[in-house]
Structure 1
């Protein structure tokens, strides 16, 4: 399993919490660590639920006082984890693969905690605003990038041709998108090729498309970046980052002051690549 940097921080802090109590990492330790994380959507959970960690800690101390599980060794943890934590990791890993991603993030982890069939974990969250928490942590989120002072040196990659898509690329690009990501994005791609200036960039190697990125196509609105995707076998090479910056640069040149990244999955990627921030959700609080 591979984890984002933020998730690795969550794991490290979960171990710290576990050492104060059971000396074994349970799912609740992972979740409590999320509430202490001050970045991204984790910070938003604490903002809308300021007493959540206090409530969970009290419940945990009442429920786990007689637990004598030995636990198991599992990387990247440095102390033993419980069988329920292993189940959470396996569910998170399955969710990550389902979305064709390669790193487990905090959303995958939180979703797995709430999907766990572990009775003690379920009791900890009983009666709490779980749906609101899921909405913050587990669902794709819109992000915002300021283009007012946006300036970046775009790093091209040897052997890969980055260029605007042309009419003759339509069939090949649609086949690539469908084979790698399914049919969900095909409508946006087709709309792009109806325009005189096609707002799509592609990465090509030996006439084979490795990735693509679009703008001004989603929801029929201007100023929205996406969809974007890189073939699974060519991830973590910087292709997506280059495609992202080519689009953002052009969006700025067209006069956009902001770009919205619609329903972003890998939040941490966009935070690092272009300083994107999550647009806060409107939460119904009873």
Structure 2
């Protein structure tokens, strides 16, 4: 079995959870240690989470003196120096299931917070104590796909991938093969979106493809989402080819094309995993509107 991989933010979450557990004299990581550990990362969506719960922080910290400690699970988990509680372990296992459901390869903060809220109704006393917190805002901020922006003019986005892979612009004759391949591997919605690019009156098709030995392994598109200009995505890479530089090669080549077309910014529409784009191209979150 492949070893579970964590994003930078999840590694910080784990460190914070240990510190919170130690400060509160917990012999196992509690579910609230994970929750507060996430908020105290204070990066990206977790910065938003921290600002949302900050007005309630004293009340949240007081929960540890109100609710009895959760019983400890017997099995240790990698990266944790002490056991998780039985409830925290359920959250952790569900977060991994969420990661797999989205066909992702790194456990991220969104998976963990989504799992926390999945199991919160089972813990009636904790749910009652947390009731004043605007949970829907946190869920919308941390667990849903988000839009980001990338400033294009301060970087040369040209990027050479491993010689085993070939990245090139899509041509008109690629239409049938690409659309069918995307539908097979990423679903009908994405294939229909890409089809619009081939039906456009513009000569240039705003799709980049990646191949290995003549076989498609990934793609990246822009200007195809609802025919809106300056929007990057969708992008997809076969699961077996991830973490080999193909994704970043597709991203950079597409951003280079957008720069050459005169765009100052690219909007990454409902991008994920967020941390990939934050690290690789300096993407910035577009804040969610508070409509409550």
Q: Provide the aligned length of Structure 1 versus Structure 2.
A: 284
Q: Deviations over 1:155-193 (max 9, x none)?
A: 321121110111222222123222222222112110111
Task: State which of 4, 10, 13 in structure 2 corresponds to 1:10.
Answer: 13
Provide the rounded CA distance (Å) in 1 between the counterparts of 2:71 and 2:242. 42
Task: State which of 124, 139, 145 in structure 2 corresponds to 1:134.
Answer: 139
The answer on 1:31 being equivalent to 2:35 is: yes
SS of 1:158's partner is coil
Q: CA RMSD in A?
A: 1.7
Cα displacement (A) at 1:201: 0.3
The answer on 1:73 being equivalent to 2:80 is: no
Mapping of 1:44-83 within 5 angstroms?
44-64=48-68, 67=70, 69=72, 71-83=74-86
The answer on 1:261 being equivalent to 2:261 is: no
8 A contact 1:185–1:227 mirrored in 2: yes
Q: Deviations over 1:188-220 (max 9, x none)?
A: 110111232110000011221010000011132
SS of 2:140's partner is helix
Provide the rounded CA distance (Å) in 1 between the counterparts of 2:71 and 2:279. 41
Where structure 2 has 5 or more consecutive residues not aligned to the other structure, the ranges are: none
Matched residue, 1:275: 282
The answer on 1:182 being equivalent to 2:224 is: no
8 A contact 1:202–1:211 mirrored in 2: yes
Provide the rounded CA distance (Å) in 1 between the counterparts of 2:288 and 2:244. 32
SS of 2:80's partner is coil
Q: Which moved more, 1:1-10 or 1:205-214?
A: 1-10
Matched residue, 1:284: 291
Mapping of 1:203-214 within 5 angstroms?
203-214=210-221
Matched residue, 2:254: 247
Q: Which moved more, 1:222-231 or 1:153-162?
A: 153-162
SS of 1:184's partner is helix
- TM-score of the two chains, using structure 1 as the length reference: 0.94
Where structure 1 has 5 or more consecutive residues not aligned to the other structure, the ranges are: none
Cα displacement (A) at 1:70: 6.0
